[in-house]
């Protein structure tokens, strides 16, 4: 089978959240922070870059480590984490990487002659008098940079964190968390020319922002003369956008671009009954050839410290407004996946238990979700060829995959008649397969008998499916199984 694009789009062992996408030359480059499976906190690893040809969004290549934590003199011990970065090509043709070390209160800049690194430390964003931004009491916390070199070569830096928790921003120099700010930089890419100017305040929003006020995750794009500011809202599990005809605002609320649990789509309003488990997300928009995409990340391992990069195609209306994208398993594929062949369970875009879903970023999450399914990494549990999978599917747990083309155009004239499951864990029951999330249309029922912990394959007949459809798998039975993969044969 020809290689296809799936979500998450990077290998199952890679954890790159906060990914900002950019096209330089004929390649798409991804710049994000770097999580580690099993880590106790966000962003504990050095920056890496991944890239793919514009013509083939399935062919991702790791460019390696592009910037190390210890390269910044303020973090020579390496104990501070590199949070979400952004990058631009400066007026001089070189590439500038902007980053912030967790809550230290500094915005660093690194530079390289090529977009794939290796980047070298340049300095910290500073005021004309020489003191670095964040070096004086009362200044807004430098956090989550977004950088734009405008058509006139003016350089705009966006940042911000909106929280009423004073301790986060007062650990260093009594900084503040007023919301989203914009700064104009000089041509040296370091010195502040004007600002910071508050453009997304913590309080006092127009009514149009209700329920979707700015929280963090700044990202900026210019489209047909209009500035699109992308951000994570107070909900923290969606990416919204606002527009302005000026780079420094004011910005008018536009809507939600994507929500990692599809909250806001199809009448879904309850965080405890979303289509996937919730936590923070961060990303940006990118036009690739003729299509626009929103890049974001999902949560795994029942916490927010092992996040993975995903993307969805956007529908841009003639008036410039953008529709909320549905989370899928086939975001960068250019269309549905082939309704034939083998797929890893890790590409499920929907996952919930009998009790629903919820937020991983709440106190006691591990205890709260003890009986829930979750994405995890194979750590000496199954044979080496097994990578990431869905663990702990107990009675009533559902995994959903969107979408498959069961007409199989240009692939095969044979429609699948059987489905095979690779299953681990220890349980006894059935896996019911449907083309709708309410299981009104059952297409297969597969007996599962895992009397002792291990890994086995089970199969069953598949009712003929026509057109483009999702597939939902619901486990009914005793114990808990691990869903590793399935094959449409």
Task: Quote the CA–CA distance of 158 and 386 in Å, as a whole number.
Answer: 41
Residue 474 has pLDDT above 50, yes or no: yes
What is the arithmetic mean of pLDDT over 369-385?
A: 95
What is the arithmetic mean of pLDDT over 98-116?
A: 94
Task: Quote the CA–CA distance of 157 and 218 in Å, as a whole number.
Answer: 10
Task: Quote the CA–CA distance of 66 and 81 in Å, as a whole number.
Answer: 15
Residue 438 lies in a domain: yes
Task: Quote the CA–CA distance of 136 and 28 in Å, as a whole number.
Answer: 38
What is the arithmetic mean of pLDDT over 279-303?
A: 97
Q: Mean pLDDT score of the chain, rounded to an integer?
A: 94
Question: Which CATH number is 309's domain given?
Answer: 2.115.10.20
Residue 224 lies in a domain: yes
Structure confidence at residue 104 (pLDDT): 86
Structure confidence at residue 327 (pLDDT): 98
What is the arithmetic mean of pLDDT over 370-399?
A: 97
Q: Tell whether 328 and 358 lie within a shared domain.
A: no
Residue 168 has pLDDT above 60, yes or no: no
pLDDT band at 364; cut points 50, 70, 90: confident
Residue 132 has pLDDT above 80, yes or no: yes
pLDDT > 70: percent of the chain: 96
Q: Are 145 and 99 in contact (CB under 8 A)?
A: yes
pLDDT tens, residue by residue, 13-34: 999 999 999 999 999 999 999 9
Cis status of the peptide bond prior to 403, with omega within 30 of 0: yes
Q: Tell whether 305 and 392 lie within a shared domain.
A: no
Residue 410 has pLDDT above 60, yes or no: no
Task: Quote the CA–CA distance of 222 and 217 in Å, as a whole number.
Answer: 17
What is the arithmetic mean of pLDDT over 25-44?
A: 97
What is the arithmetic mean of pLDDT over 68-94?
A: 95
Residue 393 has pLDDT above 70, yes or no: yes
Q: Tell whether 245 and 387 lie within a shared domain.
A: no
Residue 280 has pLDDT above 90, yes or no: yes
Residue 451 lies in a domain: yes
Q: Tell whether 353 and 228 lie within a shared domain.
A: no
The residue out of 272, 301, 334 marking a domain boundary is 334
The residue out of 307, 334, 361 marking a domain boundary is 334
Task: Quote the CA–CA distance of 389 and 385 in Å, as a whole number.
Answer: 11
pLDDT band at 363; cut points 50, 70, 90: confident
Q: Tell whether 74 and 191 lie within a shared domain.
A: yes
Q: Are 52 and 116 in contact (CB under 8 A)?
A: no
Q: Tell whether 140 and 205 lie within a shared domain.
A: yes
Residue 5 lies in a domain: no
Q: Tell whether 359 and 444 lie within a shared domain.
A: yes
What is the arithmetic mean of pLDDT over 161-177?
A: 68
pTM across the whole model:
0.96
Structure confidence at residue 172 (pLDDT): 56
* Distances from the Cα of 475 to the Cα of 128, 206, 421, 447, 470, angstroms: 62, 46, 12, 10, 17
Residue 409 has pLDDT above 90, yes or no: no
Task: Point out the least confidently predicted range of 77-86, 243-252, 367-376, 410-419.
Answer: 410-419
pLDDT > 90: percent of the chain: 88
Q: Tell whether 365 and 476 lie within a shared domain.
A: yes
Structure confidence at residue 415 (pLDDT): 82
Closest CA to 231 of 248, 262, 267, 255: 255
Question: Which CATH number is 428's domain given?
Answer: 2.60.120.260
What is the arithmetic mean of pLDDT over 38-56?
A: 97
Structure confidence at residue 453 (pLDDT): 84
**What tokens appear for 208 in the block?**
């149009």
Q: Tell whether 347 and 248 lie within a shared domain.
A: no
Q: How many domains does the chain have?
A: 2
Q: Tell whether 275 and 373 lie within a shared domain.
A: no
pLDDT tens, residue by residue, 247-276: 999 999 999 999 999 999 999 999 999 999
Closest CA to 377 of 366, 365, 393, 391: 391
Residue 90 lies in a domain: yes
pLDDT band at 443; cut points 50, 70, 90: very high
What is the arithmetic mean of pLDDT over 47-74?
A: 97
Structure confidence at residue 165 (pLDDT): 57
Structure confidence at residue 97 (pLDDT): 98
Residue 1 lies in a domain: no
Q: Are 106 and 123 in contact (CB under 8 A)?
A: no
Number of Cβ within a 10 Å radius of residue 489? 14
Q: Tell whether 93 and 221 lie within a shared domain.
A: yes
pLDDT band at 413; cut points 50, 70, 90: low
The residue out of 334, 351, 376 marking a domain boundary is 334
Domain that holds residue 430: 338-488
Residue 37 lies in a domain: yes
Catalytic residues: 18, 216
pLDDT band at 167; cut points 50, 70, 90: very low
Structure confidence at residue 321 (pLDDT): 97
What is the arithmetic mean of pLDDT over 439-459?
A: 95
Q: Tell whether 362 and 243 lie within a shared domain.
A: no
Token pair 């090529």 is at which residue?
114
Structure confidence at residue 66 (pLDDT): 98
């Amino acid at each position: 089978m020809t290689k296809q694009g799936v979500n998450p789009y990077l290998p199952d062992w890679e954890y790159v959240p906060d990914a900002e996408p950019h096209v330089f030359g004929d390649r798409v480059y991804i710049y994000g922070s770097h999580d580690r499976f099993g880590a106790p906190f966000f962003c504990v690893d050095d920056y890496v870059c991944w890239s793919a040809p514009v013509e083939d969004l399935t062919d991702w290549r790791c460019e390696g480590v592009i910037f190390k934590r210890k390269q910044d003199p303020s973090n020579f011990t390496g104990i501070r984490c590199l949070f979400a970065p952004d990058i631009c090509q400066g007026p001089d043709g070189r590439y500038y990487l902007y980053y912030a070390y967790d809550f230290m209160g500094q915005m660093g800049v690194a530079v390289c002659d090529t977009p794939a690194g290796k980047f070298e430390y340049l300095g910290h964003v500073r005021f004309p008098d020489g003191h670095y931004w964040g070096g004086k009491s009362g200044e807004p916390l430098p956090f989550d940079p977004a950088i734009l070199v405008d058509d006139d070569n003016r350089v705009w830096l966006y940042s911000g964190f909106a929280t009423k928790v004073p301790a986060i921003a007062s650990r260093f120099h009594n900084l503040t968390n007023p919301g989203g700010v914009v700064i104009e930089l000089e041509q040296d890419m370091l010195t502040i020319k004007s600002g910071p100017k508050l453009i997304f305040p913590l309080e006092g929003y127009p009514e149009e922002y209700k329920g979707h006020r700015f929280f963090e995750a700044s990202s900026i794009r210019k489209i047909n003369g209009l500035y699109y500011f992308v951000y994570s809202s107070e909900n923290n599990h969606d990416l919204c956008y606002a527009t302005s005809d000026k780079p420094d605002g004011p910005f008018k609320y536009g809507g939600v671009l994507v929500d990692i649990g599809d909250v806001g789509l199809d009448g879904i309003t309850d965080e405890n009954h979303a289509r996937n488990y919730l936590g923070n997300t961060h990303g940006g928009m990118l036009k690739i050839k003729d299509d626009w995409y929103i890049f974001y990340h999902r949560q795994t391992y029942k916490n927010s410290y092992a996040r993975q990069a995903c993307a969805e195609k956007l529908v841009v209306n003639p008036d410039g407004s953008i529709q909320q994208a549905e989370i899928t398993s086939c975001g960068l594929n250019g269309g549905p996946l082939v309704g034939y062949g083998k797929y890893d369970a890790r590409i499920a875009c929907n996952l919930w238990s009998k009790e629903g879903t919820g937020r991983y970023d709440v106190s006691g999450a591990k205890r709260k979700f003890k009986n829930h399914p979750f994405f995890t990494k194979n750590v000496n549990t199954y044979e080496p060829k097994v990578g990431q999978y869905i663990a702990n599917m107990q009675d009533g747990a559902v995994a959903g995959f969107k979408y498959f083309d069961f007409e199989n155009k240009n692939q095969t004239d044979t429609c699948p008649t059987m489905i095979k499951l690779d299953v681990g864990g220890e349980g006894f029951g059935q896996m019911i397969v449907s083309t709708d999330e309410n299981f009104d249309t059952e297409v297969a029922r597969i007996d599962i008998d895992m009397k002792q912990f291990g890994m086995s394959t089970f199969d069953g007949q598949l009712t003929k499916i026509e057109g483009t459809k999702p597939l939902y798998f619901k486990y009914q039975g005793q114990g808990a199984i691990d869903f590793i993969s399935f094959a449409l044969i």
